[in-house]
Chain A
Amino acid sequence: MPKCPHPRRAPSPSDVERRLDALEARFQGRGRDLEELLASRGISRRSFLKWTSMMTAALWLPPTFERSVARAAAVATRVPVVWLHLQECTGCTESALRTAYPGISELILEYLSFDYHETIMAPAGEAAEKSLEDTLENHRGAYLCVMEGSIPTAMDGKFLRLGPKGETGLSLARRVAAGAKAVIAIGHCASYGGPQAAAPNPTGAKPVHEALGIQTIRIPGCPYNGVNLVGTILHLLLTGEVPALVDGRPAWAYSKRIHDTCPRRAHFDAGEFVEQWGDEGARKGFCLYKVGCKGPYTWNNCNEMQWNEAASFPIRAGHGCIGCSEDAFWDDMAPLEKPLADGAVAIPFLKGVEGSVDTVGWTLIGATAVGIAGHAVYSAAMKKSKPGQDGEEGSHGA
C-alpha cells in the first residue's frame, strides 16, 4: 500500500538543462512544434506558463524548474512514442482525444509524436508495421512505450492478435518493451489487469509488468488522468529517470488517499451521509460513503488535479469514488454503489456462495444463538429426565 516515499534529492538544474539540450538536438524537426500548436488553439503564452507552474508543483519540483518544465513540454511533442493497444476498450485514448476543450495536458497528449498508435495513426497494414519497425530500430533505447490494456497470457496469448501478421499481443508487447526507454502502463488494465482480469479471468489477463516481467510506470485509473501521463513523461525527459514510485505508481500522483483530501471529508467526520440518490443530503453535498464511495481505499490525485482541466471529478459531481486506481477493484470494490459492508465476499467452505460480510456475520451470530438455545433446552430436558445425574457422579475438588 502507498506510503510516503523518502523524498529524492531534487535533480540538479544544470543536469536537467544539459539533458534537454541533448534531447532538443536529437529530435529537432520531429513531431509538431508546441508553440505553433498552442497558437493554433488560441492558448496564450501566459496560460502555458501558468500550466507549467501547475505541473512543476504537481511534480514536487521547486519553482526554479518552471523554465525546464516548459522546455520539456516542448520536447515532449517530439520524442518518439509507441502506443500499444492491448486487451482494452480504448477508453483511455478516447478520454484524451475527445476533450471538447482540450487543455494543455490534453493538447500535448494529442500531439505526442506517435510513431505507432493503432487508433490515430495515418498508415495502415504493412505501412504501419514498417513505421513501428523503423522506430524500434532507429530510436532504440530512446522511444517511450505507452501500453494501454492488459495482456492475455492464456493459450500463449492467442486471445489477442494484432496487425497484418496476426502477432500476439504478448509477443508485440515484449518486442516493443525491450528497446523502450521506459514502459508506461496507462489505465487500470495495463496497471492491474482491469475487468478482464476479474475472477474467473478466462483469458489469463495480466497487467503488463506481470505478463512481461519488467518494471513499468503504472498510471492506473479508468480512464487514467491525462495530467498524470504528461507529468510522468515530463519527469522522464527532465531527469532521464523513472519517478519515485509507490506500488509502481508515480509517488507525486498516487501517494495521497482520496478520503484524506476529499472536499466532502468534513461531512464524513460529522456523520452526515447521502442515504440515497437525490435526497436532502445529496443536495447538501454530504459524504457519499453510504452510497458506496471507495475513497477510503483509493490513492489518486483526483481531488487536487481533478479532470478535464479541473472542471470537476466524480466526488465533486456527486458520485462516490469507485476505486479505479486500485488493484483488483472490479473484484474487491463491487458493488460500486454500496458500502463495503454490503459488498459480496465468498463464504468460507461454501464454494461459489457469496454474501455480504454483514450477512455472514449476523448469520454467524444467529447460528450461535440457535446453538446456545438448543443446548440450553437439551440440558434442561436431560436434567429433568435423569434427576440425580447432573454432575453428582464426578469427583469434586483436587
Chain B
Amino acid sequence: MIRRVRRMTVMMRIMHWVLALSVAACFVTGLYIAKPFWFRPAPGPADVLVMGNVRFVHFVAAMLVDVAFLSWCYLFFFSLQEPFVRSLVPFRKRWGEAWAMLRHYFTLRNKPPTRDPGIDPLNAYGFLVIHFLVFVQMVTGFGLMRPTFSHANSLLPIWPWILEVSERVSVAAFGSLVAVRQVHHLAGFAIVALAAVHVYLQIWRDIFWTEGHISVVFSGYKYVEEE
C-alpha cells in the first residue's frame, strides 16, 4: 500500500522558491557587481544604467531573501504545522538520527524511517548552516549598503539604524569594510555550494528511495510504500 506523506506546507514551499530564485539572482548579480563581466562598448552617451539596474536587482532579491530568512526564523520555532526545531531536539536522539542518515548516504543501507511530520535531522542541520550564511550575508550586505545610503527612505525610521548597526557589527567582526566585502563574496559561494549539495541530495533520494521526493517541493507530498 502506498501512503501519501505531507512534507512541506504551502508556506514552506513559497519560501523555498522565493529563497531559491532570489539567491540565484543575488549570486549572478553579485558576481557582476564584484567584477563586471560583460563589456558594453558604448557608442554614445549611456542611456542604460547597467550597473545601476544590476545593483537594483541585487538589492531587491536580497530583501526577498531577508524576508524569507526572517519568516523561516519565526517558523523554525512557532510553526503550527511542523516547527523545524523539533527536528533538532532532543539533541542526542536527533544527532544520532542525523548520523544514521549520513551513514545511509554512503552505505545505501538501513534507510532511516521517514519522519512525519518534520524533516530529517541531517537536512535540518544543513538548513541551519545555509540560514546562518544567509544571516551573514544579510548583516554584511547591510553593512556594505550603509555607505551608499542617503538617509532618504520611505521605510520606518528604524531602517537607517539597522544599516548602521549592521555596519558596526560586521566591521567589528571582520576588521574593515574591505574584509566585510570579501566575507560577503565568499559566503555567497558557500551558499551556492551548499545549495548544489542540497539539490543533488533531493535528486539522489528521488532515484534511490523511489518515493517521489522531487514532488515534495511542488505538491508538498511524497509517497511511502508500506506493507
Contacts and interface: CB of A to CB of B under 8 A. Distances in A.
Contacts of B110: 393-394
B178 A333 contact: yes
A367 B189 CA distance: 12
Interface string A353-375: 00001101110110111011001
Given A340-B34, A379-B208, A389 B109 contact: yes
Interface stretch (B45-53, B59-67, B89-97, B130-138): B45-53
Q: Which of A269, A342, A358 has the most CB of B within 10 A?
A: A269
Contacts of B52: 269-271
22 contacts: A260-B147, A271-B40, A272-B46, A332-B176, A343-B182, A357-B34, A357-B186, A357-B189, A358-B35, A358-B185, A360-B186, A368-B196, A372-B196, A375-B106, A379-B105, A379-B204, A391-B111, A393-B109, A394-B109, A396-B113, A397-B226, A398-B115
B193 A290 contact: no
B141 interface: no
B24 to A, nearest CB: 13
B51 A397 contact: no
A273 B36 contact: yes
Nearest to A280: B41
A15 B164 CA distance: 36
Interface residues of B, number: 60
A4 B46 CA distance: 32
B28 interface: no
Contacts of A271: 36, 40, 46, 48-52, 54
Interface string B20-41: 0000000000000011100111
Contacts of A323: 178
A270 B42 contact: yes
Interface of A: 1-4, 257, 259-260, 266-273, 275, 280, 284, 289-290, 294, 296-297, 323, 326-328, 332-333, 339-343, 345, 357-358, 360-362, 364-365, 367-369, 371-372, 375-376, 378-379, 382-383, 386, 389-391, 393-398
Nearest to A287: B51
Interface in B1-18: 3, 5
Contacts of A3: 146, 164
Contacts of A268: 51
Contacts of A389: 108-109
B71 interface: no
Given A372-B196, A396-B225, A273 B39 contact: yes
B190 A364 contact: yes
Interface in B157-177: 164, 167-168, 171, 175-177
Contacts of B171: 1
A391 B108 contact: yes
A272 B167 CA distance: 29
Contact of A361 (B115, B116, B185): B185
B35 A269 contact: no
A307 B162 CA distance: 36
Q: Which of B3, B5, B176 has the most CB of A within 10 A?
A: B176
B49 A270 contact: yes
B192 A272 contact: no
Contact of B104 (A339, A391, A395, A398): A391
Contact of B114 (A269, A289, A383, A397): A397
A364 B40 CA distance: 30
A389 B3 CA distance: 22
Contacts of B119: none
Contact of B176 (A270, A296, A328, A342): A328
Q: Which of B40, B107, B147, B178 has the most CB of A within 10 A?
A: B178
Given A260-B148, A357-B186, A327 B200 contact: no
A266 B52 CA distance: 9
Given A341-B34, A365-B196, A272 B40 contact: yes
Contacts of A383: 108, 208
Contacts of B121: none
B112 interface: yes
Q: Which of B46, B114, B116, B147 has the most CB of A within 10 A?
A: B147
Contacts of B109: 389, 391, 393-394
B124 interface: no
A394 B181 contact: no
Nearest to A286: B42
A365 B112 CA distance: 29
Contacts of B50: 270-271
Contacts of A386: 108
B128 interface: no
Contacts of A357: 34, 182, 185-186, 189
Nearest to B54: A271
B145 to A, nearest CB: 12
A368 B192 CA distance: 10
A4 B151 contact: yes
Interface string B192-221: 110011001000100011000000000000
Closest 6 CB pairs of A and B: A271-B50, A361-B189, A394-B111, A270-B46, A391-B111, A332-B178
B35 A342 contact: yes
Contacts of A391: 104, 108-109, 111, 208-209
